[in-house]
Chains A and B, each alone.
Chain A
Amino acid sequence: MQKTILNETHRQSGAKMVDFGGWDMPLHYGSQIEEHHAVRRDAGLFDVSHMCTIDLRGADAKAFLRRLLANDIDKLKTRGKAFYSVMLNDSGGVIDDLIVYFLDEERYRLVVNAGTASKDLQWMATCLLDWRMTAELTPRREGNAPLAMIAVQGPTARERVWQALPDCRNACAALKPFFAAEIGELFIATTGYTGEDGYEITLPAGRAVDLWRALVGAGVRPCGLGARDTLRLEAGMNLYGQDMDESVSPFDAGLAWTVDLKSPRDFVGKSALLNQPQRQQFLGLILLERGVLRAHQQVSTNTGVGEITSGTFSPTLQQSIALARLPLASAIGDIVQVTIRDKPLPARVVKPCFVRHGKALV
């Protein structure tokens, strides 16, 4: 089992550890629900060092990403600006979803999922070769200068980070959403996976334990992957492997907004997407009775059958919520039936964003 540099720190804090795609990671430190509330109401921190940072450098770096990603890299014009994109295969399925940071014309930083990192790197290396482009891919999770990543999220997260890293205060405070600043060895980004303000801090692995302790000292609550999942689901954010994978088109996973079909450029998967229109709608569900929606439960609608891709109990709404692929004719406000243990229970179709900045949206 692989371990992050913070593994021992988690164990000392009483974390319940689980195997997360081959990584020994904290599920929670006592109560997943209290950790969830800490992020919505105050601040929480997550070890996300299992995710893989990949540095891309070289004369063809931009041309490479222009062809590799479904989102248009030319949108990133300001230093430090980031976007979310999917990386597709030739048949238009999602190989992975990732964040790209623009550092300069020949330098980008990508952050990909833990379980897909080696597959992604292989795919990218093959593309580089096939396209005869010159750029260097450097995964930073392992190797001689490994990086760790700590996410600090919540309404008070930013102040707490300034407290723990006073030297970074000015540079950090100036960051707009979806930007990053390189401050010495630190890479601080205003990205996240919770629907709250905060930072994702990438730093040399050797400095991670000290930063973790400083943040805990500043009153930030350690949170496990359990809370991370309920937070991202409330925020309506997709999880790779659950809400989409290589067999799913981004159009059927609510990710059309990340696919740029306006620019004339070609990218991997574009022709496949143009030849296969959207088949399903990716929407949210709220269970109207007591119970818990779970992945793979069947959804019956007036116009056909759908399936839940992610479901949970929402600690903020105190109701069960889900993301689901539904028939194309489904609309917000529809009442559908979800089969839970052989019993049909009514659920309402909603926009797939349930909570933002601590506020219920549905």
Chain B
Amino acid sequence: MSIPSDLQYTKSHEWIRDEKDGTVTVGITDHAQELLGDLVFIELPSIGNEYTAGQEAAVVESVKAAADVYAPVDGTVTAINQEVVDSPELVNQQPYEAWLFRIQVAGGVDLSSLLDAAGYQKIVDAA
């Protein structure tokens, strides 16, 4: 199971990449896709939707179960990855390539409240 060191994470198994342009990209971790099993349906937010950190922004469903994906930061959705909507299995195959949505962060990017790879590893190990 992989946890790239250049990403940030949440306890609810999202990964976050700082795009250095005021936006962050969000996906679900390798651990999350493994727990869910084969994904068959992904519902993404509409571009322009505003979220506060911790709000449900997307849904990923596997044959087994449905799981909410939460906005990791406050902000506005600026892009969604239509490819994963058409082929949800991409998230199983390459969880860190198959991103879900991008958020323009409100009030500037500050990811200090998120977990780094080591912090997320602890969450996974404790599960």
Query: Which residues of A does B touch, CB under 8 Å?
Result: 16, 27-28, 31-33, 226, 230, 290-292, 294, 312-313, 315, 320, 341
Contact = CB atoms under 8 A, between A and B. Distances in A.
Contact of B41 (A28, A230, A290): A290
Nearest to B92: A31
A292 B64 CA distance: 10
Contacts, number: 39
B64 A341 contact: no
Contact of B63 (A16, A291, A312, A341): A312
List 9 A-B pairs, minimum CB-CB distance, nearest first: A313-B40, A33-B38, A292-B61, A32-B38, A292-B41, A32-B63, A313-B63, A32-B37, A31-B38
Nearest to B64: A226
A294 B59 CA distance: 14
Nearest to B85: A290
B37 A313 contact: no
B34 to A, nearest CB: 8
B5 to A, nearest CB: 26
A72 to B, nearest CB: 38
Contacts of B61: 291-292, 313
Contact of A33 (B43, B63, B66): B63
Nearest to A318: B40
A27 B63 CA distance: 11
Residue among B38, B59, B64, B89 facing the most chain A CB atoms (10 A cut-off): B38
B41 A27 contact: no
A31 B37 CA distance: 7
Given A226-B64, A292-B66, A313 B59 contact: no
A341 B68 CA distance: 11
Contact of A27 (B37, B40, B59, B92): B37
Interface string B50-79: 000000000101011010000000000000
Given A226-B64, A312-B63, A341-B59, A292 B37 contact: no
Contacts of B89: 33
Given A27-B37, A33-B40, A315-B63, 11 more contacts: A27-B64, A28-B38, A31-B37, A32-B37, A32-B64, A33-B89, A230-B63, A292-B41, A292-B61, A312-B63, A341-B66
B59 A226 contact: no
10 contacts: A16-B37, A32-B38, A32-B63, A33-B89, A290-B43, A291-B43, A292-B41, A292-B66, A294-B66, A313-B63
Contacts of A291: 41, 43, 61
Nearest to A34: B38
Contacts of B92: 31
Given A226-B64, A292-B66, A28 B59 contact: no
A108 B1 CA distance: 49
